[in-house]
Amino acid sequence: MKTNGLNKLQAAIATATGCLLLLLPQKTFAEPTDPGLVKDINVNGLAFGVSDAFSNGSWGLDDTASFKGNDILVQTQVAGACCNGAGISIPISNGENGYTETFDDTEGFPRSNDVSNPDIDNATPPDSVFATIGNVIPPANDFPPFPVTGEPNPRLGLNNGNILRYSMWVREDPNNPITNAPEIEPVLKFEFYKEALSIDPVDNNGGAQTFFGDKIYDTDQQEGDGVWIDIDNSGSAADGSATIGNGRLKTISSEEWTLIEVVHEVDDFDWFGIADDIYTVADVEEIRAVMFWGDFNGDNGEAGSLWFDNVQVEIFKDAASVTPNMNPNPILDEVNEDADFDNDGDTDGTDYLTWQSSFGGDGSTGGDADFSGLVDGVDLTIWQNLYDGNAALSASSVPEPSSVAVLLLGLACLGGARRAR
């Protein structure tokens, strides 16, 4: 009895230790606050503290998808339709900038025809990361559009020299890969807004900012600093300056997850000339980490899906403070349940037969869906939960309901007998 109890204790310790090892790489991150690690990307809408997966037009969006027991986001492009797209936004609050309106020129001549552009107050304080890294916004502006009068002034917030990093894991859908890329392949970038959570960016189709809108600066459109995903392996993207060689063009596959990241150093000197008014980091109310892909030509010939997981935004004091990217590979969460024993991309009757023939074994021939080292009734339950129904089971491969009940009853009795011993 003592030996049996010791074995149970050792098993419990081993199980607990295994769980801790899986959790350790994630301890550094605040979850799901931002900036931090967001493991379950959802369609939350544009708001601080959450992820916003979105789609435009008829493109598909599924934030309830799962792969091997791990929650993932699936976005699907449609074929041959114009003006569609999808992406992921992570907003970060930089606090209130102290004014309720700006005056923007609609004719293109600085301050010749200024009209009021209302600015809704940002009620969300600056993200705690700025206090953590010791950032204080420089004193108030003494030039247009308005001096920063928010309290306290100076206040915590974004500084020049801060390093922003936005990363995520991406994979092509093994059962629905993309062979014909859309006009705009996935691009990761940062946007800066003078009104928090604005839906009025006015980006002038990627050119210089027009004179009436809330987006101050776009690191891809205004600076050519975005990182693109070459999903059709053509060696190029919409931004011709992005190449594999300079690190701004990345490739992915359907065989494994790939970590994609964009890094940007904040310098508001680069913002001069974007609009008729001069903006600095003190005018920013929101930093928005964005991934977007879409088609506005309607010439992509095939549908296909991309998978996304584990998005993360980080802000560092300066270049010397940057640490290695510890965004964890999604495979750490994919060892829980997997009943696709023949690795053909689905869970069907063939996998049931593998479980049936391996029952009672150690899983070396398949059938061990929970990776416990034993093929048992738990694995059958997992198979039943994951069975997708796409492949019809033959009558010979599926027991009658009464047979299943007898089998499950026998497994329960077997478990009881083991406990009795």
Tens of pLDDT, residue by residue over 352-395, are: 999 999 999 988 788 888 877 789 988 898 888 888 644 434 33
pLDDT in tens, 394-416: 333 344 434 443 344 344 333 44
Report the alpha-carbon distance of residue 164 to residue 185 in Å, rounded.
22
SS3 state of residue 163: strand
Residue 49 confidence (pLDDT): 87
Report the alpha-carbon distance of residue 90 to residue 262 in Å, rounded.
14
The angle, 0 to 180 degrees and rounded to 10, between the axes of the packed helices 377-386 and 401-420 is 140
Report the alpha-carbon distance of residue 341 to residue 15 in Å, rounded.
23
Per DSSP, what are the bridge partners of residue 319?
A: none
pLDDT in tens, 299-319: 766 788 999 999 999 999 999
Please list the ranges in the chain whose pLDDT falls under 50: 1-34, 142-151, 204-208, 210, 389-421
